[in-house]
């Protein structure tokens, strides 16, 4: 038992080091080279060996997600690895699905799950018409939809079950419009289906509502990982600056107001890390507490990240407020993360719904 | 890492549950409200022996001294004790944590043999570090211990010593070398509180109780065999004591707060108020409860990690102490707010309860028992900044 945990810790450590190194080579605001990501094997971390995957778990994907946050990197990786592959793994196997999974792992295709970044309901519908089955609906703030070539659209079929519709992003009746946001490191799109013809419709293993809920939880946890990583980066930056910048003949880090602000940032990052770890663990094991841990991690880590990035801006003084310093990039990303896939208040509301019937341990 | 398998742990939990159902004195809260000091002490001693008989009094001690529970088992034990609202070992707090860990880390074999079994038999300890002129700046202490024959003669005054009026022994810091730099002239002693020249005077505190005391020391003789660690090296030993205060004790406190205390809070919020509505029906209340639950979950995970870690980081214990104490404050503050005016009519809280007893106003006032002692929140932040983050040190000013 303990050796496995140590092995894993070592594996994560290596993965983290490689990711940090690779991401450091990408210039600010440009997208990370997709073929490099594919060659690193990160896309297939959660895929089975038969699809050329590494048969690892979400815990390893989480390491990469955190590093992307730390680098404030621009990449569809979170959308593809956390959501695309996550969805494909939840679906019944079949020739088309298997093929798509294999292509995703190799990086030759970029499938994006059309999960709206704001509302939680599945907004797409399938209707049977004399001309065949047609897809209609709209999802807004879908992460990386503009980059996708394939779309995985969660839709309610005529029997009321949620299925995944596989469709070319440029198929007739489909349109993806870029939704520009202030955070320059992110790409969002609104996906509209207007009597589009699905290429294939795939079913989830087991209960489809459960599967969709799980995907929402994964999305929330993925964002929490990103926020944790960017919080760490901002804390490091603030501490480094406070250790060299001098005023009144002293390093500003020796002023208590500054030191204590940094100490509070460390406490929050430390707590966020524990909550994110717990959420990642429950995702990995399909545990009963997955919804609870996801909500806890999402609301705490994403709220903390905004405060931490804000504090980092403050502690850098006038320099922190410049475009050049790059801190605004993090502050914008953190603030966007806070709203993405459920605000802290929304997640806390879900937690609070349990209080009338809670069981403790 | 623990070796308890999930099945063994489940079995252990079932055993603890059964024990709790049959051993926790019914109605102890009522019985412990408005009781005399003597009754409180008797109750604490009896409860200690009850726990000891079950092997639950000092689970964190090494096996040879009567402990030896795995970390996972300790967590389960504290969860169940909290869930069943067991009384706390408040009187033995310093004995089983501060004194024991100091003796285990720095005491002589003779000192351990003398005191560890005695603690199990109910010996009570207090901690005499602070002085009127030495609080946050503990190294400024002025109490002197002058070598005389095979002992020391101690003179000075200690302040804020919790539980000193009930204590048999005291962990005492005194200056043995007045000429050495502040931290290098201090020695660490075990003081028998019945030694002639020791005068204890309780001080009334913010909650109305008198839990902490002044200790006046006038020509008090301490044999040299009661020195802990080398002469003049007491500062380092004291760090061990403070480490225990900020480390090991936290596991139980976090479970108490996150499990027992939070339960009180949810119950409070679910109780219909004067208009028939429950505080819980207000989404803002739900939001704040959820915020606290999230923070408590983080705290419990942090504590378990701290205690499991053989090589904690230089500021880990401070992070946990700071976070626990301020979360305790936020939670009891919120409880007081929700409970409204009724909270102000609870004039006494049951003795032997934790820092979260459900008497919210008194608990809120009592929360300063954690943000001030053992290094104030400000001092913890400085430690975290300097040792945890490597930020430049404070100028010393002299
Ligand atoms: C309930 C309770 C129980 C206690 N039990 C014990 C006990 O059993 N044994 C024992 O020895 N002591 C005990 N103490 C004493 C406790 O450790 C001290 O009160 C504490 O260390 C603070 O010292 P002080 O009271 O002298 O406050 P001061 O040190 O005078 O502090 C006053 C204020 O100034 C701030 N301050 C001081 N120095 C700095 C600095 N360098 N940077 C920033 N802020 C600073 C403090 O944070 C605080 O806000 C207890 C105290 C309380 C309240």
Please state, for a pLDDT cut of 90, what percent of chain B lies above it. Answer: 80
Whole-number Å distance between alpha carbons of B290 and A275? 14
How many CB atoms neighbour CB B18 within 10 A? 11
Phi, psi (degrees; rounded to nearest 5) at A40: -75, -10
| Band (B209; pLDDT cuts 50, 70, 90) | confident
By three-state DSSP, how is residue A163 classified? strand
Tokens of B109: 């074999």
- Could you read off the pLDDT of A338-361 as tens digits, one per residue? 999 999 999 999 999 999 886 554
The answer to whether A17 and A62 have CB atoms below 8 angstroms apart is: no
Using CA coordinates, name the residue in chain A closest to B300: A274
Tokens of B323: 């976070």
- Could you read off the pLDDT of A60-102 as tens digits, one per residue? 999 999 999 999 999 999 999 999 999 999 999 999 999 999 9
Specify the ligand 1 atom closest to the Cα of B377: 47
DSSP per-residue letters across A257-299: HHHHHHHHHHHHHHHHHHHHHHHHHHHHHT-TTHHHHHHHHHH
User: Which among B73, B245, B252, B255 is annotated as catalytic?
Assistant: B245
- Of all protein residues, the one whose alpha carbon is nearest to atom 24 of ligand 1 is B135
The answer to whether B157 and B207 have CB atoms below 8 angstroms apart is: no
pLDDT number for residue B242? 85
- For the cut 80, the answer to whether the pLDDT of residue A256 exceeds it is yes
pLDDT number for residue A121? 59
- For the cut 90, the answer to whether the pLDDT of residue B355 exceeds it is no
By three-state DSSP, how is residue A253 classified? helix
The answer to whether B320 and B302 have CB atoms below 8 angstroms apart is: yes
- Lowest-confidence range among A185-199, A300-314, B109-123, B243-257? B243-257
The average pLDDT across B288-315 equals 92
Residue B190 Rama label (left phi>0; alpha psi -120 to 50; beta): beta
pLDDT number for residue A359? 58
- For the cut 60, the answer to whether the pLDDT of residue A142 exceeds it is yes
The average pLDDT across B300-319 equals 89
The average pLDDT across B308-327 equals 91
As to burial, measured by CB atoms within 10 angstroms (0-12 exposed, 13-18 middle, 19+ buried), residue A145 is buried
Whole-number Å distance between alpha carbons of A152 and A155? 9
Phi, psi (degrees; rounded to nearest 5) at A167: -150, 150
The average pLDDT across A153-169 equals 94
pLDDT number for residue B398? 47
Tokens of B378: 């400000």
The average pLDDT across A109-127 equals 87
H or E element that contains A136? strand A132-143
Residue A215 CA, ligand 1 centroid: distance in Å: 50
Give the residue, out of B163, B235, B376, with the most ligand 1 atoms within 8 A of its beta carbon, to mutate for a pocket test. B376
| Band (B282; pLDDT cuts 50, 70, 90) | very high
- Lowest-confidence range among A109-123, A136-150, B46-60, B142-156? A109-123
The Cα-based distances of B65 to B95, B113, B115, B120 in angstroms read: 14, 9, 11, 9
Chain A contact present for B394, CB below 8 A: yes
Chain A / chain B CB contacts < 8 angstroms: 125
Residue A96 C-alpha, separation from nearest chain B C-alpha, in angstroms: 41
The Cα-based distances of A61 to A79, A164, B123 in angstroms read: 12, 23, 53
As to burial, measured by CB atoms within 10 angstroms (0-12 exposed, 13-18 middle, 19+ buried), residue B9 is middle
DSSP per-residue letters across B96-143: IIIIHHHHHHH--HHHHHHHHHHHHTT--EEEE--BTTBSSSGGG---
Alpha helices in A138-289 (DSSP H): 208-242, 256-285
**Which residues in chain B have Cβ-Cβ distances shorter than 8 Å to A277?**
301
pLDDT number for residue B307? 84
Count Cβ neighbours within 10 Å for each residue of B202-236 and write b for 16 or more, e otherwise: beebebeeebbbbbebeebebeeebbbbebbbbbe
pLDDT number for residue B246? 72
By three-state DSSP, how is residue B218 classified? strand
Q: In the annotation, is B245 catalytic?
A: yes
The average pLDDT across B14-33 equals 94
Residue B147 CA, ligand 1 centroid: distance in Å: 29
Phi, psi (degrees; rounded to nearest 5) at A165: -95, 130
The Cα-based distances of A164 to A89, A204, A205, B389 in angstroms read: 12, 8, 11, 48
Tokens of B104: 């285990």
CA B12 to chain centre: 26
- For the cut 90, the answer to whether the pLDDT of residue B247 exceeds it is no
- For the cut 90, the answer to whether the pLDDT of residue B176 exceeds it is yes
pLDDT number for residue A118? 86
Tokens 């480490």 label which residue?
Answer: B243
Using CA coordinates, name the residue in chain B closest to A236: B389
By three-state DSSP, how is residue A177 classified? strand
- Could you read off the pLDDT of B214-237 as tens digits, one per residue? 999 999 999 999 999 999 999 999
Residue B143 Rama label (left phi>0; alpha psi -120 to 50; beta): beta
Averaged pLDDT of chain A: 93
Residue A55 C-alpha, separation from nearest chain B C-alpha, in angstroms: 26
Whole-number Å distance between alpha carbons of A175 and B47? 71
The answer to whether B174 and B156 have CB atoms below 8 angstroms apart is: yes
Rg (CA), chain B: 22
Whole-number Å distance between alpha carbons of A105 and B331? 47
Beta bridge pairs of residue B146: B153
The answer to whether A271 and B299 have CB atoms below 8 angstroms apart is: yes
The average pLDDT across B318-330 equals 95
Residue B157 C-alpha, separation from nearest chain A C-alpha, in angstroms: 31
| Band (B275; pLDDT cuts 50, 70, 90) | confident
Whole-number Å distance between alpha carbons of A139 and A79? 15
Nearest to B211 by CA among B127, B329, B322: B127
pLDDT number for residue A120? 59
DSSP summary character for residue A113: E
Nearest to B333 by CA among B361, B296, B371: B361
Nearest to B43 by CA among B80, B85, B92, B81: B92
Specify the ligand 1 atom closest to the Cα of B158: 11
- For the cut 80, the answer to whether the pLDDT of residue B131 exceeds it is yes
Give the residue, out of B136, B170, B193, B385, with the most ligand 1 atoms within 8 A of its beta carbon, to mutate for a pocket test. B136
């Amino acid at each position: 038992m303990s050796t496995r945990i140590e092995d894993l810790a070592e594996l994560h450590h290596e993965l983290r080091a490689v990711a940090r190194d690779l991401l450091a080579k990408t210039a600010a605001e440009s997208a990370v080279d997709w073929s490099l990501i594919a060659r690193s094997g990160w896309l297939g971390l959660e895929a089975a060996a038969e699809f050329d995957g590494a048969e690892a778990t979400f815990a390893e994907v989480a390491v990469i997600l955190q590093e992307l946050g730390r680098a404030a990197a621009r990449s569809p990786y979170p959308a593809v690895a956390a959501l695309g592959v996550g969805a494909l793994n939840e679906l019944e196997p079949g020739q088309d699905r298997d093929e798509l999974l294999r292509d995703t792992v190799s990086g030759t295709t970029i499938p994006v799950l059309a999960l709206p970044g704001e509302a939680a309901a599945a907004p797409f519908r399938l209707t049977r018409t004399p001309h065949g089955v047609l897809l209609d609906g709209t999802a807004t703030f879908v992460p990386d939809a503009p980059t996708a070539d394939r779309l995985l659209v969660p839709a309610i079929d005529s029997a009321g079950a949620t299925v995944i519709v596989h469709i070319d992003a440029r198929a007739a009746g489909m349109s993806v419009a870029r939704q520009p946001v202030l955070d320059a490191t992110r790409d969002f799109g609104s996906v509209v289906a207007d009597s589009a013809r699905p290429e294939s419709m795939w079913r989830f293993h087991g209960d489809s509502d459960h599967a969709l809920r799980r995907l929402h939880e994964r999305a929330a946890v993925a964002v929490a990982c990103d926020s944790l990583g960017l919080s760490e980066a901002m804390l490091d930056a603030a501490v480094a600056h406070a250790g060299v910048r001098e005023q009144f003949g002293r390093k500003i880090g020796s002023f208590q107001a500054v030191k204590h602000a940094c100490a509070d940032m460390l406490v929050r990052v430390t707590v966020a890390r524990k909550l994110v770890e717990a959420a990642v663990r429950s995702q990995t094991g399909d545990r009963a507490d997955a919804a609870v841990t996801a909500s806890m991690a999402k609301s705490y880590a994403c709220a903390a990240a905004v405060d931490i990035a804000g504090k980092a801006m403050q502690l850098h003084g006038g320099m922190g407020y410049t475009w050049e310093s790059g801190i605004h990039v993090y502050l914008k990303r953190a603030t966007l993360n806070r709203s993405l896939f459920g605000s802290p208040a929304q997640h806390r509301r879900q937690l609070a719904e349990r209080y009338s019937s809670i069981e403790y341990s | 890492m623990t070796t308890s398998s999930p099945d063994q742990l489940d079995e252990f939990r079932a055993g603890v549950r059964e024990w709790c159902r049959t051993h926790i004195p019914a109605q102890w809260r009522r019985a412990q409200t408005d009781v005399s000091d003597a009754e409180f002490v008797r109750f604490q001693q009896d409860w200690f022996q009850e726990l000891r008989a079950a092997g639950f009094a000092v689970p964190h001690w090494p096996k040879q001294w009567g402990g030896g529970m795995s970390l996972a088992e300790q967590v389960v034990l504290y969860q169940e004790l909290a869930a069943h609202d067991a009384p706390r070992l408040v009187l033995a707090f310093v004995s089983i944590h501060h004194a024991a860990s100091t003796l285990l880390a720095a005491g002589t074999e003779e000192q351990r043999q003398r005191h560890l079994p005695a603690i199990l038999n109910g010996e009570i300890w207090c901690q005499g570090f602070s002085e009127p002129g030495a609080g946050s700046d503990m190294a400024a202490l002025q109490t002197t211990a002058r070598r005389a024959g095979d002992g020391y003669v101690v003179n000075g005054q200690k302040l804020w010593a919790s539980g000193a009026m009930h204590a048999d022994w005291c962990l005492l810091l005194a200056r043995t070398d007045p000429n050495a730099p502040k931290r290098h002239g201090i020695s660490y002693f075990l003081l028998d509180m019945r030694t002639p020249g020791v005068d204890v005077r309780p001080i009334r505190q913010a909650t109305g109780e008198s839990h902490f005391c002044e200790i006046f020391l006038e020509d008090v003789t301490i044999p040299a065999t009661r020195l802990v660690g080398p002469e003049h090296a007491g500062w380092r030993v004291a760090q061990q004591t403070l480490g225990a205060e900020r480390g090991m004790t936290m596991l139980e406190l976090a479970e108490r707060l996150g499990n027992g205390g939070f339960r009180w809070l949810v119950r409070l919020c679910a109780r219909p108020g004067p208009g028939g509505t429950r505080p819980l029906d207000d989404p803002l209340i739900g939001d704040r409860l959820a915020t606290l639950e999230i923070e408590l979950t983080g705290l419990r995970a942090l504590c378990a990690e701290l205690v499991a870690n053989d090589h904690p980081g230089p500021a880990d214990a401070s992070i946990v102490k700071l976070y626990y104490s301020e979360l305790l404050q936020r939670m009891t503050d919120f409880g007081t707010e929700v409970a409204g005016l009724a909270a102000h009519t609870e004039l006494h809280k049951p003795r032997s309860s934790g820092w979260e007893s459900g008497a919210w106003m008194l608990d809120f006032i009592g929360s300063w028992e954690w943000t001030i002692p053992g290094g104030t929140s400000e001092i913890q932040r400085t430690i975290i900044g300097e040792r945890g983050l490597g930020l430049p040190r404070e100028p010393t000013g002299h």
